[in-house]
Chain A
């Protein structure tokens, strides 16, 4: 929208969040990352924590997250983002570090780091993007790839006898005592996106209230590596991913539930 057009409007109803840079996303058409980045930026703006927020990027399609956010950011080694965020939070408790990790990063190579950050109840936030595939490397099997699903390293579809079963991260981590808030959301339609934003906001509020580890898993389409059109990818997500990865809150300690009930916040 040009400046001229904006000036002709009485009220700007929709604008770029201050926490989001005017920097083109490098993601493929139909990718869910861009939506989640915007949601995080909106939440950071609404909570007025732009000057305290720190994005700990991981390895994968989100490696250059720090280009898109207009606050401090760094890149961590593959899978190690929760360790990096742990140290930042312990050293500077006033900062609000969050990790942004894909499924390969969090649920495969970084399993130890996320489990132990949760077990310690670190007061950090993790945004976990589950698209059931390795995106940046070109579509290999992820720890979350569905049984029977094609990938470039499961050419006949994922066979449990050869490649085991997908990991349900929220279910697994919610058995631990450390996490305060764990939820799974999706971005396959506008209603789901609104709920995803609420969960992301509650996760950040959990950290702001020093209540412990918060993690939001976001089911997200990857049309390129699923080899379908973007619109088809959304349908595919609903049909195949939702049954395997049911949406909902998996861990909600009482103090977080109380936060959630506060009027006009979440």
Chain B
């Protein structure tokens, strides 16, 4: 049996990256994820890998761009205001087909907001975030164990699709401490014949996203669109609990899903048929799973740490004729299981149909 270690969420992300073979880390301090930067400043040199504390998040993401172009597994971590600054670079990475991992430990916003946990960056993270027609894969951990596992998966998917992958925990998870099982380190990294490694015995390699010839305008985008469709087909991940007999399904991710799980168990103890669907990949979103559920489930309750963002995707999946209600917190305040339970009971007391 693997030994369990008590670990904080932010440290788990850093160690997950090292296990995944992250060769270069670049970061700029911002709360509530500073532990990742600090941990990496010690661990990366220990492993003989690259660590740079950058002058800004702009520099950090562009160093990830450079390291990725050079064929290395690279990562940066930040929190919401820094994630906004990184959107330009993420768009360039997607446009240039570069892999890379961006961790956004979300905090309260908008603006400077606060250092509490939140999920207000959902739209920004899942719908592209920067300029142009592109998407990034989003993985939303809900436990410290998943901070390790999904960070490792993020590197794998980034290389598989040559596209940025965003790991999207919230500040509460970053600070949480839980027992984790460490994984085996990745020892074999994929070969990258397209990378900038010096034109030795091969024609020169070029990494760019710029297109001068109008004939190539659309094909350039279509190349990416085909990839995003493949991602939609292959990379949907979610967890379903008590869905078989549920008449009400809570949809929640990240730390909100932890409160939702508790609320679901409390409701079950009261004899209420409540289930939970937890999206793990936010892009691609589990539309089909929710659409299938809508055939038999009466009500959906969306629990999120934002003001009606996740609920839009749920509504898109289940259709306008379903009742989909919102229970939420925002601005850096945690959502309690009791608040979700209240919403469940209120919803069940009012029959669906309008």
Contact = CB atoms under 8 A, between A and B. Distances in A.
Interface stretch (A88-96, A137-145, A148-156): A88-96
A85 B65 CA distance: 10
B317 to A, nearest CB: 35
A84 interface: yes
A91 B198 contact: no
B204 A70 contact: yes
A35 interface: no
A65 to B, nearest CB: 10
Given A90-B24, A91-B50, A95-B197, A75 B66 contact: no
A80 B58 contact: yes
Nearest to B92: A77
Contacts of B26: 87
A115 B205 CA distance: 28
Interface string A54-79: 10110000011010011111111100
Contacts of A64: 210, 212
B23 interface: yes
For A70, A83, A87, A116, which residue has the most chain B Cβ atoms within 10 angstroms?
A87
B25 to A, nearest CB: 11
B288 interface: no
Interface string A205-217: 0000000000000
B196 A88 contact: yes
Given A113-B59, A116-B59, A91 B72 contact: yes
B178 interface: no
A112 B56 contact: yes
Contacts of A85: 66
Given A112-B58, A113-B59, A91 B210 contact: no
A63 B210 contact: yes
A72 B52 contact: no
B47 interface: no
Contacts of B66: 56, 74, 76, 83-88, 91
Contacts of A94: 198
A87 B210 contact: no
Contact of A74 (B64, B196, B198): B196
A121 B223 CA distance: 39
A90 B52 contact: yes
B55 interface: yes
B208 interface: yes
A229 interface: no
B89 A74 contact: no
A91 B24 contact: yes
Contact of B55 (A52, A77, A112): A112
Contacts, number: 129
B343 interface: no
Given A84-B62, A87-B67, A91-B72, A54 B198 contact: yes
Interface string B72-97: 10100000000000001100100010
B206 interface: yes
A92 B70 contact: yes
B209 interface: yes
Contacts of A75: 96, 207-210
B210 to A, nearest CB: 6
Nearest to A92: B70
A95 B65 CA distance: 16
A84 B63 contact: yes
A52 B199 CA distance: 7
Interface string A162-201: 0000000000000000000000000000000000000000
A126 B164 CA distance: 28
B70 A87 contact: yes
B124 interface: no
B125 interface: no
B263 to A, nearest CB: 44
B301 interface: no
Interface of B: 23-24, 26, 50, 52, 54-56, 58-60, 62-67, 69-72, 74, 88-89, 92, 96, 196-200, 204-210, 212
8 contacts: A52-B198, A75-B208, A83-B65, A86-B52, A90-B50, A94-B198, A95-B196, A115-B55
Top 4 A-B pairs ranked by shortest CB distance? A87-B66, A84-B66, A74-B207, A80-B62
Given A72-B206, A91-B66, A112-B56, 6 more contacts: A77-B89, A84-B69, A87-B67, A88-B66, A92-B70, A112-B58
